A and B are shown apart, each in its own frame.
Chain A
C-alpha cells in the first residue's frame, strides 16, 4: 500500500527555521517525484514545486523560489520541506504528494502538516 506520512503540526515564531518531513512507503522512493503543495487557511491549493529523489533534481514555482528548500534522504525514504526564516504568511497546511514523472499529476498524497507562524 502506497503511503506518504507527514510530520506533525508545528508552531513557530517569525524568523525561526523549520524542516517538515514526508516519509513514504509502499513503493520505490527513488522512482517517483515528490510534489509540495501549500494550502493557506480557508484558501485553495498552490503548487510549490517538485523534487526527484533519484538525483535530487528540484524545480520550484517562482512564487516559492528562494524561500523554501526541498531535500530528500533516500536511506530512509523521506522528503523534506525547509524554511530558514519563517514569516507569518507561511502559516498554512503543507502537503507532499507522489507523481510518476516531472510533468505528471500527483496521485497519492500525505495527510498534510499544519504550520503556524505567530509571534
Chain B
C-alpha cells in the first residue's frame, strides 16, 4: 500500500507569511489523484485542491498546489488568521489514503 507522509508535523508561522506544506508518497503516484483538505478545529474537512494543482470552487488564489511523482506541495501565500488549521493530503483512486496531517499554528 502507498503511504503518504506529510511534513512538517507542525508549522509555526505569523499572519502574512508563506506556508509550504509537503506530502510525500512512498512510491510514484499520478498527480491526477492528489487532493488537499483544510480542517479547522471541530469542523469537517474542506476541499482546497484536487488533481494536485486545481483549486476547488471558492478557494482563494493564495492557496496553490504543485508536484508530481512522489513529492507534492501545498503553498499558502500571505497567511490569514483563518488559515491556521490542520491540512491533510489525500491520494484518491481505488484505495484512497490520507497523510497524517500538518498543523499550521500561529507563531
The residues of B that contact A47 with a CB separation of less than 8 Å are 90, 96-98
Contact between B45 and A95 (Cβ–Cβ < 8 Å)? yes
Query: Given that A44-B88, A103-B92 are contacting pairs, would A112 and B44 also be in contact in the complex, using a CB cutoff of 8 Å?
Result: yes
The CA of A35 and the CA of B35, in the complex, are separated in Å by 15
Q: What total of chain B residues lie within 8 Å of the partner, measured CB to CB?
A: 23
Contact between B44 and A95 (Cβ–Cβ < 8 Å)? yes
The CA of A47 and the CA of B47, in the complex, are separated in Å by 15
Contact between B92 and A45 (Cβ–Cβ < 8 Å)? no
A104 is an interface residue with CB less than 8 A from chain B:
yes
Q: What total of chain A residues lie within 8 Å of the partner, measured CB to CB?
A: 20
Minimum CB distance partner of A95 in chain B: B44
What mask results when residues 70 to 107 of chain A are scored 1 for a CB within 8 Å of chain B, else 0? 00000000000000000000000001010100111111
The CA of A99 and the CA of B101, in the complex, are separated in Å by 21
The CA of A97 and the CA of B50, in the complex, are separated in Å by 15
Contact between B101 and A44 (Cβ–Cβ < 8 Å)? yes
The residues of B that contact A110 with a CB separation of less than 8 Å are 44
Contact between B98 and A107 (Cβ–Cβ < 8 Å)? no
The CA of A97 and the CA of B47, in the complex, are separated in Å by 11
B60 is an interface residue with CB less than 8 A from chain A:
no
The residues of B that contact A105 with a CB separation of less than 8 Å are 33, 35, 47, 50, 90, 92
A46 is an interface residue with CB less than 8 A from chain B:
yes
CB distance from B33 to the nearest CB of A (A): 8
14 CB < 8 A contacts A-B? A44-B99, A44-B101, A45-B90, A46-B98, A47-B90, A47-B96, A102-B94, A103-B92, A105-B33, A105-B50, A105-B90, A106-B45, A107-B50, A112-B44
> Footprint of A on B, CB under 8 Å?
33, 35, 37, 39, 43-47, 50, 56, 88, 90, 92-101
